[in-house]
Structure 1
Amino acid sequence: MTASTLLNPMDVVKIRLQTQPLAPSHPDAMYRSTLHTFRTIMKEEGLFSITRNQGLWLPGIAPSLCRDASYSAFRFGLYGPVKAGLGIDDSNLAGKILAGAISGSTGSVLAVPTDRLKIRMQREAGRVGASGEYETGLFRGKKPTYPNLNVLRSFAMMHANEGGLRGLWSGWEPTMARAALLAASQLATYDHTKYVLRTSFGWDAASPWTHVTASFCAGVVAAVTTQPADTVRSVVMTGDGKYKSVGDAVAHMARTEGVRGFYRGVLPSYMRFAPHFTVALPLWEQVRILVGLGTV
């Protein structure tokens, strides 16, 4: 939750790039690159607003924190017990990948509604004028759908308007796929990099420098591995009815944009992953040491 609060701006930039109707390379695209998206949001909406769903920092922050309190807690918390339960030793990279995939996909089931709301609030955000309609952003000319920072009311609206619990969990397939890929790539890379640093270079397993170095490596691998599933998840969870199913979204993206389309927003993803992991993973390790669990 600490890392997500600090790095939510990169998530906002990524979602705008991923979910805009036109590819960033199209001359009429509202957001053409990571830097252009960043500058446009700052110019039109500012850094943040407490009362309105606008700006670079706060859109989607409330459901994002709810997501981390559930999904991320399980993703981190289950990894060690799953690895131990499967009898995976420190040299077994394939086993670590499996343990990460299990812990990530299990935790993601709880987080689907928070993912949906986070993506929608970040996509919809913009400056609201005197008319009560958005004057900037992808929803220009439309009235706001969700109240900023009021998660319970927003969930109630989604539940009422989208078929109850079934609607809240719509889009779970790419969410689980992304979560499995993320946890498998992130935790396995982090864990195994620490093992290599310790056994081949003599680094201290409890040193923050070991944790930071392993976190940086995990960010690179995770960004590249998860981006296709992340992009599909984002476009499916917008709820605008553009795609009939996950398969339809994948087929349409492959047909219209090719492989490049699945990597929309990969730069802001990495710019979020790398520092996010650099904050979250060492902090995770230090908290584990503090409460007597030792390092992973």
Structure 2
Amino acid sequence: MLSVQSDNQQPQFVALRRLACAGTTAAIAAAATNPVEVIRVRFQLESAATRPPSVYDFALRLARDEGLVRGLMQPGVSAWMASMGVAFRPTARTDHRIPGASGVSTPATAFAAGLSTGALTNSLACPFFNVKALQQSAPSSSSSLAASLALVSRSAGWAGHYRGVSALFVRGGALSAGQLGGYDAAKRAVRANGLAEGAGTHVLCSLLAAGCAAVLSLPPDIVLNRYQGAPAVGAHYSSVGDCASQLVRREGVLSLWRGLGPQYAKLAPIFLMTLPLYEQLRRLAGLGYLR
């Protein structure tokens, strides 16, 4: 029978096991959810006057016109894996450290942990997110991650890799804060109602956390995708702030939450894969569930 060990046992292997669990989780989740990410990015970028009224019809058009593989599965998948890997690994273990720093772990400390580490790690992953946005904005992009990074360097220099980093900083913090804070609050709530820790609990908490993260992260996410994808669609913005102000001025404040359904549809599968999978991989590795 498999025993669940605490993080304090065999400390020389704990960091390596955490890294392996988080890296495996990020790679699997990124590959599985890339088609939804492509649909979301293209739906946000295309004008309402030319795109189909529903996300479902829009996705069918992409698959029909560009193919399932070239249109939905391939664009930006390697950049998505790389960006998720960089952003997920530190965030996944931050809440474990909070009790040692503050003496108590609460949803508020989990929220703060996600806000700080999410903002930092997403900013560090900006070159990969930038390439992902460019590849997924253009129809049937087939450039490799290395080729796309080199193209950005040639066309815009080192600064081009950090195009939109301020929006990514905000989006990353909001997303991770909603993820960790919502997940922690949900786990406490279901435990308080007598549900035992396990896969079912993790699935339910992941769905609730995805809702929190979707609402918090959608405004900076829309601005980020528009700003980073502007070169691919011939648009021009002088800054992230200019992009946001033009969007609100032309389409209204509620446009910042346009596509909340696709945003949740994107995050829910990611959270359903990353959080329960990470919890189970930790258990199998002898690290125990997140607390």
Matched with 1:5 is: 31
- Partner residue of 1:72 out of 88, 91, 115: 88
TM-score by length of 2: 0.85
Alpha-carbon separation, structure 2, partners of 1:254 and 1:98: 28
Per-residue displacement from partner, 1:111-169 (whole Å, max 9, x unpaired)? 1011011011111023xxxxxxxxxxxxxxxxxxx643x21121111111112x21101
Per-residue displacement from partner, 1:152-189 (whole Å, max 9, x unpaired)? 121111111112x2110121111010110011011111
Q: Residue 280 of structure 1 aligns to a residue in which SS?
A: helix
Deviation at 1:31, TM superposition (A): 4.3
Indicate the percent of aligned positions where both proteins have the same amino acid.
29
Gap change, CA 1:239 and 1:254, over 3 Å in 2: closer
Give the aligned residue type for 2:263.
S
- Partner residue of 2:193 out of 185, 194, 201: 201
Alpha-carbon separation, structure 1, partners of 2:60 and 2:147: 31
- Partner residue of 1:104 out of 100, 106, 118: 118
TM-score by length of 1: 0.83
Instruction: Tell me whether 1:245 sits opposite 2:239 in the alignment.
Output: yes
Q: Extract unaligned runs of 5+ from structure 1.
A: 49-53, 127-145
Give the aligned residue type for 2:65.
E
Structure with the higher fraction of residues in helix conformation: 2
Indicate the larger mover: 210-219 or 232-241. 232-241
Give the aligned residue type for 2:41.
I
Q: Does the CA contact (< 8 Å) of 2:74 and 2:142 recur in 1?
A: no
The residue correspondences of 1:1-296 to structure 2 (distance < 5 A) are 1-20=27-46, 22=47, 24=48, 28-48=49-69, 54-81=70-97, 83-87=98-102, 89-90=104-105, 92-126=106-140, 147-148=142-143, 150-163=144-157, 165-198=158-191, 200-205=192-197, 207-240=198-231, 242-296=236-290
Q: Residue 92 of structure 2 aligns to a residue in which SS?
A: helix
Q: Residue 229 of structure 2 aligns to a residue in which SS?
A: coil
Deviation at 1:279, TM superposition (A): 1.2
Deviation at 1:94, TM superposition (A): 1.9
Indicate the larger mover: 113-122 or 28-37. 28-37
Q: Does the CA contact (< 8 Å) of 1:175 and 1:233 recur in 2?
A: yes
The answer to which structure, 1 or 2, has the higher relative contact order (CA under 8 A, 6+ apart) is 2
Give the aligned residue type for 1:121.
Q
Alpha-carbon separation, structure 1, partners of 2:204 and 2:31: 22
Q: Does the CA contact (< 8 Å) of 2:123 and 2:172 recur in 1?
A: no
Q: Extract unaligned runs of 5+ from structure 2.
A: 1-26
Alpha-carbon separation, structure 2, partners of 1:152 and 1:276: 25
Deviation at 1:93, TM superposition (A): 2.2
Q: Which runs of at least 4 in structure 1 moved beyond 3 Å after TM superposition?
A: none
Give the aligned residue type for 1:221.
C
Give the aligned residue type for 1:36.
D
Q: Does the CA contact (< 8 Å) of 2:75 and 2:142 recur in 1?
A: no
Q: Residue 29 of structure 1 aligns to a residue in which SS?
A: coil
Q: Does the CA contact (< 8 Å) of 1:17 and 1:31 recur in 2?
A: no
Give the aligned residue type for 1:43.
R
Q: Residue 125 of structure 2 aligns to a residue in which SS?
A: helix
Name the Cα RMSD after superposition.
1.6
Q: How many residues align?
A: 261
